[in-house]
Amino acid sequence: MFPKNLSEYAIVLLLKDKADHLFSFLIFTFIVTLLSAVLFVSDAIQSDLKVATLFQPDIVVENTLAGRAYTLSEEDKEAIESLRGVTAVEGAVDGYYYFAQGRVWFHVIGDSSLRLGAMRVGSGVYTAIKAWHYEDQFNFFTPKGKITLNIEQIESKATNLLCNDVIYMHPANARAVLDLGMEHYSKLYVTVPNPNEVGELTLKIVETLPYVKATSKEEILANYQHLFYYKGGVFMILYLVCMVSFLILLKNQISLVYGEKKKEIAILRSIGYGIKDIIAIKFIQNSTVALSAFLSGVGIAYLYVFFFQAPLLRSIFLGSELEHSVEFTPIMDMNMLFLLFIFSVIPFLACVILPSWKIAIADMSEAVR
Amino acid sequence: MKTLRYVALFFGLLYSVIILHALSFESQTKAKEIQSLASRMKYTELSLSFKESAYKGFVYVP
């Protein structure tokens, strides 16, 4: 593509000015690492959530009272069952239990596959209760007294994203722990065999029971897609950091062409180098820096997220109240990476090549002076 | 050109390690485990310790 001599000369010049280029390389790598790491964590979480939606109910019905989650009654269940198009309504028992000693909340879910008196816990829960010497059994303190359940199994690390803070137990035990009556449910799972009717039935449920919140499977999946509100909070700060770093990078790139470098271009022009050659030299130098920085950034982000499971960044995504030892599935969204490449490498190269071209076509005697 | 070759070699090795890691990850086993859990849970949510910020406020009241 480029003559070998020109490429060699460009690399020699690159190594000569290594301090300037090293600065660009480090900032570029930092930006790409930060953005790629956020992208990798978010993609890994979303991919696991997508796998988990296989058994998702068609409609989830919840109740609220004074803005807080509230129970649903047997009458509500029957009212939904009577709607045409609904084949089954399953009442679920779930809620939150406050573990006062550890100052954390556990998510209690009723699971009819478990026997009475037994429970399965997520590894975050197990770590939290083990710190208080609960190894085989755990005591729940309720207004009606103490309930002791045996720890039957600890959920595997692979499913930690979904059950780190969860305790599964028989629905009767869950009702006792959450102080829920036999005719009350935390949520109702509605089965609608015809997918075309789901939207309409969601509206019908809200019409029949105006105090409930009905969420269709489609909405739940859409929520998973927009799980992390990128415009808010910590993510905004991360993007601002990237933006400012990128502006510093571009300023550094432009300054690489002026001053001493302006003279260098003028000398090259006066000894017979064409405008094309000068642009080629600048292109080789800066594309080497940009490509190396981009590849390093993506590589470092991969190692950080999938080898070391994203320490610090993981807490931003998943919270830090319970110890989260997750294992992210290595997933890379190539479209987003390509977009990142285009929007970082092209401005980076343009900020050097355009001023170089402008200097190369100007009057040389002016530039040397 | 020698420098460029070394750079290419470094990235070649780095990305070989990454590809090997990605291929050796048992994503099928993980997917099966998640599916078996999801079949029991039905309505799956991300485990974030606190579902609503209101809960958090209550917990940390001094």
Q: What is the ipTM of this complex?
A: 0.81
A61 at B interface, C-beta within 8 A: no
The residue from A163, A187, A221 where one domain ends is A221
For A216, the domain range is: 59-221
A89 and A121 together in one domain: yes
pLDDT tens sequence across B14-60: 999 999 999 998 888 888 988 888 887 778 777 775 544 555 544 44
What is the mean pLDDT of the segment spanning A264-269? 82
Question: Beta strand pairing status for A94-99 and A184-185?
Answer: unpaired
A117 and A201 together in one domain: yes
Q: Which residue in A329, A332, A337 has the most chain B C-beta atoms within 10 A of its own C-beta, making it the best mutation to test that interface?
A: A329
| CA-atom Rg of chain A in angstroms | 30
A35 and A69 together in one domain: no
Distance in Å, alpha carbon of A331 to nearest chain B alpha carbon:
8
pLDDT tens sequence across A35-73: 899 889 888 888 888 888 888 889 999 887 776 778 889
A113 and A165 together in one domain: yes
A45 and A103 together in one domain: no
- Residues in chain B with CB shorter than 8 Å from the CB of A332 are 22
- Residues in chain B with CB shorter than 8 Å from the CB of A104 are 49, 59
A170 and A251 together in one domain: no
The tokens of A15 are what?
A: 């190594």
A16 and A134 together in one domain: no
Q: Please give the tally of structural domains in chain A.
A: 2
Q: How far apart, in whole angstroms, are the C-alpha atoms of residue A3 and residue A108?
A: 69
The residue from A195, A221, A247 where one domain ends is A221
**Element at A184 (helix H, strand E):** strand A184-185
A364 and A297 together in one domain: yes
Residues 163-192 of A with CB under 8 A from B: 163-166, 168, 187, 189
Band of the pLDDT at A299, cuts 50, 70, 90? Answer: very high
Q: pTM for the whole thing?
A: 0.81
A361 and A256 together in one domain: yes
**Per the CB < 8 Å rule, is A330 touching B21?**
yes
The residue from A161, A190, A221 where one domain ends is A221
Q: Identify the pLDDT of residue B59.
A: 44
**Per the CB < 8 Å rule, is A329 touching B33?**
no
A39 and A84 together in one domain: no
A134 and A252 together in one domain: no
